[in-house]
């Protein structure tokens, strides 16, 4: 089976949508790492990028996207369109990364 | 003693923070120049009618305040008004996220990124202080077929 195409447009460039399969979603809840937290505490003195957190959030977001894609595959779709990301902090030190979109069949 | 340490931390934050900020703005300018051939819009479609394929690209960055900025902001909150030190922080983060997104697009051989969305979220630290601010930019990269 071909790779799933993911876009945040309402269409897939160069293709036409033949069927809508419904909403698909994926989420991960990610807690911060104590070791990284200490480094971040130091960074709060001199400022700048918190590389550990950047990495943490981007891998968590990838995971959420993969879960969304798996759901789309299960529905028999070959593309996910109009993808949106959202992030919410649940409690101190934990964030939820959420990805959702519409699974479609393109031809 | 505690007061003295506080002053030292703020001074260290002031000098290193300012240096880092200056460097970052310089780097951003270079990176934006290199990536200027990739058109970035938040429109739903491209003016270029040629056959292309699309793929999602993202770029993110988490930035932290320095001690001086936090201290300065604390006083600004008493009097209200603009907090300039935070404005530059947000600007840096946003531009960095867009640069990273464009780099991903460039690696795919894209000519354009459309329908860009930029999102902000905060990661809370201890006792309600802001641990970090995350900036996320995402869009659809158009690759000539």
Give ipTM to 2 decimals. Answer: 0.84
Other residues' Cβ atoms within 10 Å of the Cβ of residue B77 = 10
B132 pairs with which residues across the strands? B123
What residue of A is the nearest CA neighbor of B134? A54
B81 Cα to chain A: minimum distance (Å)? 23
Is B22 within 8 Å of chain A by CB?
Answer: no
| pLDDT given for residue A25 in this prediction | 94
pLDDT beneath 50: ranges in chain A? 1
- Please choose, from the candidates B106, B97, B137, the residue with its C-alpha nearest in 3D space to the C-alpha of residue B39: B106
- Tell if the CB–CB gap between B64 and A89 is shorter than 8 Å: no
Is A59 within 8 Å of chain B by CB?
Answer: no
Please give chain B's pLDDT, 145 residues, in tens.
788 888 888 888 888 888 888 999 999 999 999 999 999 999 888 877 777 888 999 999 998 878 788 788 888 878 888 888 888 889 999 999 999 999 999 999 999 999 999 999 887 665 545 568 899 999 999 998 7
- Spatial distance between the Cα atoms of B119 and B59, rounded to a whole number of angstroms: 11
A40 Cα to chain B: minimum distance (Å)? 7
CB pairs under 8 A between A and B: 140
| pLDDT given for residue A1 in this prediction | 44
| pLDDT given for residue B21 in this prediction | 87
Which residues on chain B are in Cβ contact (under 8 Å) with A69?
none
Is A106 within 8 Å of chain B by CB?
Answer: no
- Spatial distance between the Cα atoms of B93 and A68, rounded to a whole number of angstroms: 27
Using DSSP's 3-state secondary structure scheme, residue A9 falls into: coil
Which residues on chain B are in Cβ contact (under 8 Å) with A65?
56
Is A58 within 8 Å of chain B by CB?
Answer: yes
What number of H helices and E strands is found in chain A?
A: 2, 5
- Spatial distance between the Cα atoms of B128 and A51, rounded to a whole number of angstroms: 21
Angle B57-A23-A30 (CA atoms, 0-180°, nearest 5)?
60
Runs of H (alpha helix) within chain A: 34-46, 51-74
Other residues' Cβ atoms within 10 Å of the Cβ of residue B106 = 17
Q: Tokens 């703020």 — which residue?
A: B10
């Amino acid at each position: 089976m071909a790779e799933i195409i993911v876009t945040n447009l309402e269409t897939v460039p160069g293709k036409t949508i033949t069927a809508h399969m419904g909403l698909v979603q994926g989420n991960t809840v990610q807690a911060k790492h104590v070791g990284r937290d200490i480094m971040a505490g130091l960074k709060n003195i001199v400022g700048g990028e918190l590389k550990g957190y950047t990495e943490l959030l981007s891998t968590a977001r990838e995971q959420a996207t993969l879960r969304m894609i798996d759901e789309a595959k299960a529905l028999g779709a070959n593309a996910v369109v109009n993808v949106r990301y959202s992030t919410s902090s649940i409690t101190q030190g934990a964030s939820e990364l959420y990805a959702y979109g519409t699974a479609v069949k393109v031809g | 003693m505690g007061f003295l340490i506080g002053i030292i931390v703020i001074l260290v934050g002031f000098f290193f923070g300012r240096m880092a900020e200056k460097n970052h703005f310089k780097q951003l300018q270079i990176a934006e120049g290199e990536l200027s051939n990739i058109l970035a819009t938040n429109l739903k479609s491209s003016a270029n009618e040629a056959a292309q394929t699309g793929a999602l690209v993202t770029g993110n960055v988490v930035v932290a305040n320095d001690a001086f900025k936090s201290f300065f902001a604390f006083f600004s909150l008493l009097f209200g008004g603009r907090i300039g030190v935070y404005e530059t922080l947000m600007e840096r983060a946003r531009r960095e996220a867009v640069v990273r997104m464009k780099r991903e697009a460039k690696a795919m051989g894209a000519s354009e990124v459309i329908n860009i969305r930029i999102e902000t979220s905060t990661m809370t630290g201890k006792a309600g202080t802001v641990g970090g601010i995350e900036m996320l930019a995402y869009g659809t990269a158009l690759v000539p077929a």
